[in-house]
Chain A
């Protein structure tokens, strides 16, 4: 019989992690993400996994890196203030190519901001929060079911590309309860990291294969290698400036940007005949769908473009979907962030890009989005 539950997005995220094979969680509780840690503290021991509450978020992210190097799929979950602390070690995970999943259930900011209210003001932080020219993947669920499936996808992408993946959620999706049919075992394919096929003596832990991704040996399996945050060669030892450093950065960039077909995912809703296309993710996408329902009833042709992968940014698909539209409205719970990416992509196509921004901690109502659409098409 199908396993149907009425649970929170955060709980679905925890169940999705277990389903994906996550067996190690290190974290520090913070509203509105705490239910993920709470549930995994109960569930992980039941599947021979481990849960640690660390002394802070910096240590939690470090522990996740260690857990993954030891061969366990590892995860942490947090919100804005904690995410800021994780960024240093997130950069370390990027350069050392450690697969792991970081969930950010966004709340109002800056600083401790609005603990119990939603925001989407960490979109650019997810991309560029940690310093240096690093690639990153970030996925954006928009329902309780997607908190499950996108967490699974985040783990799969992390394993496939040896990279940290951010699940960029928000308080609306994390805290709401909704019906979910828990997928059966085997229903969603699970990806596990490539292991070296060569002997320990021949193994080069940072030498990319054809897909630019190096196989990864777990510590304790007999493969000894060096891991450092310094720029390194294929063996993992520090190198100074020069062509090799550039090559390393380019390969890490390529492993994401030359594999976009495996990473990008979008929902395109009623865009075929749309004159106005709303660009929104997460909680705002739900407000926007409600708005489209109202607008269509009034005969206004509106549609929705919703990236489930927000980083890397879905440039080609956005350009294709919007090619016939007159207007694009970017709806985001911040003072205007992803709108600049949309403008960059659609800038010279003749489509007019506008925004609807709010940082009050209150989600957009469908009517406020619909009214903004009417405003921009009247001009």
Chain B
């Protein structure tokens, strides 16, 4: 049985999905000695437009670097929810933002709606940390990497001076998913 675990992070450009994927990949590959691959696809525009970032985590060698049988989908827009839920495997998890995704369609997956964006705005004061709030929720729900190791990778990756803010956002996400 393959240990391959596929995470797809989807939404719109500017939501920080690539950074979110990098932190997950770094946690797994550097702090947990697993294999990880992160890739992304986006249009030529810098903001807006569809954006997705895939993270594959495995104990074995990872051949194909993209998600195609998704274990965990994060959808931060209605458009990305509609487009990518069909690639989620049976029994997989779909985490969506309960405000930004207004009509979540049921399927052969576990559907979890959380106010990720509202939490970023109300608790942290910046919608731009929606990616880090999501990171906390993903780690808590999936258990694919530990919260402690993710915190280490997160604090090493974010710009100096923003560590406390990001830590707060991360644990807001963890608590949201409890």
**A contact set with B: CB distance below 8 Å:** 4-6, 31, 115-117, 172, 175-179, 283, 286-287, 289-290, 293, 363, 365-367
B64 CB contacts on chain A under 8 angstroms = 286-287, 289-290, 363, 365-366
A365 CB contacts on chain B under 8 angstroms = 64, 66, 68
Chain A's closest residue to B60 (CB) is A293
Q: Are B63 and A172 in contact (CB under 8 A)?
A: no
Chain B's closest residue to A179 (CB) is B29
Q: Are B65 and A179 in contact (CB under 8 A)?
A: no
Chain B's closest residue to A118 (CB) is B41
Q: Does B26 belong to the interface (CB within 8 Å)?
A: yes
| In the complex, chain B residues 26-56 whose Cβ is within 8 Å of any chain A Cβ | 26, 29-30, 35-44
Q: Are A176 and B39 in contact (CB under 8 A)?
A: yes
Q: Are B37 and A117 in contact (CB under 8 A)?
A: no
What's the Cα separation between A175 and B63 when bound, in Å?
15
Interchain nearest-CB distance for A2 vs B (Å): 11
Interchain nearest-CB distance for B57 vs A (Å): 11
Interchain nearest-CB distance for A42 vs B (Å): 17
Which one of B2, B29, B65, B66 lies within 8 Å of A6 (CB-CB)? B29
What's the Cα separation between A31 and B41 when bound, in Å?
13
| 23 A-B residue pairs with CB within 8 Å | A6-B29, A6-B36, A116-B42, A172-B65, A176-B37, A176-B65, A177-B21, A177-B25, A177-B37, A178-B35, A178-B37, A178-B65, A179-B29, A179-B35, A179-B36, A286-B63, A289-B63, A290-B64, A365-B64, A365-B66, A366-B63, A366-B68, A367-B68
Q: Are A6 and B41 in contact (CB under 8 A)?
A: no
Q: Are B42 and A6 in contact (CB under 8 A)?
A: no
Category for how many chain B residues contact A = 20 to 34
Q: Are A115 and B44 in contact (CB under 8 A)?
A: yes
| In the complex, chain B residues 52-96 whose Cβ is within 8 Å of any chain A Cβ | 62-66, 68
Query: What is the predominant secondary structure among interface residues of chain B facing chain A?
Result: mixed
Interchain nearest-CB distance for A128 vs B (Å): 30
Q: Does B9 belong to the interface (CB within 8 Å)?
A: no
Q: Are B39 and A172 in contact (CB under 8 A)?
A: yes
Q: Are B66 and A177 in contact (CB under 8 A)?
A: no
Interchain nearest-CB distance for A373 vs B (Å): 15
Q: Does B154 belong to the interface (CB within 8 Å)?
A: no
B66 CB contacts on chain A under 8 angstroms = 363, 365
Interchain nearest-CB distance for A145 vs B (Å): 11
What's the Cα separation between A283 and B44 when bound, in Å?
21
Q: Are B68 and A177 in contact (CB under 8 A)?
A: no
Query: Sorted from nearest, which 6 A-B pairs have the closest CB atoms?
Result: A290-B64, A289-B63, A179-B29, A177-B38, A176-B39, A290-B63
Q: Does B22 belong to the interface (CB within 8 Å)?
A: yes
Chain B's closest residue to A285 (CB) is B63
Q: Are B39 and A116 in contact (CB under 8 A)?
A: no
Given contacts A6-B25, A178-B38, A179-B30, 6 further A-B contacts (CB under 8 A): A6-B22, A6-B38, A115-B44, A177-B39, A363-B64, A366-B63
B44 CB contacts on chain A under 8 angstroms = 31, 115-116
What's the Cα separation between A290 and B40 when bound, in Å?
19
Chain A's closest residue to B38 (CB) is A177
A179 CB contacts on chain B under 8 angstroms = 29-30, 35-36
Most buried by A among B25, B35, B62, B63: B63
A116 CB contacts on chain B under 8 angstroms = 41-44
A178 CB contacts on chain B under 8 angstroms = 29, 35-38, 62, 65
Interchain nearest-CB distance for B133 vs A (Å): 22
What's the Cα separation between A293 and B38 when bound, in Å?
20
Q: Are A4 and B37 in contact (CB under 8 A)?
A: no
Interchain nearest-CB distance for B145 vs A (Å): 13
Interchain nearest-CB distance for A80 vs B (Å): 14
What's the Cα separation between A91 and B12 when bound, in Å?
43
Q: Are B39 and A4 in contact (CB under 8 A)?
A: no
Q: Are B30 and A175 in contact (CB under 8 A)?
A: no
B2 CB contacts on chain A under 8 angstroms = 293
Interchain nearest-CB distance for B144 vs A (Å): 15
A290 CB contacts on chain B under 8 angstroms = 63-64
Chain A's closest residue to B22 (CB) is A177
Q: Are A286 and B36 in contact (CB under 8 A)?
A: no
Most buried by B among A176, A290, A363, A366: A176
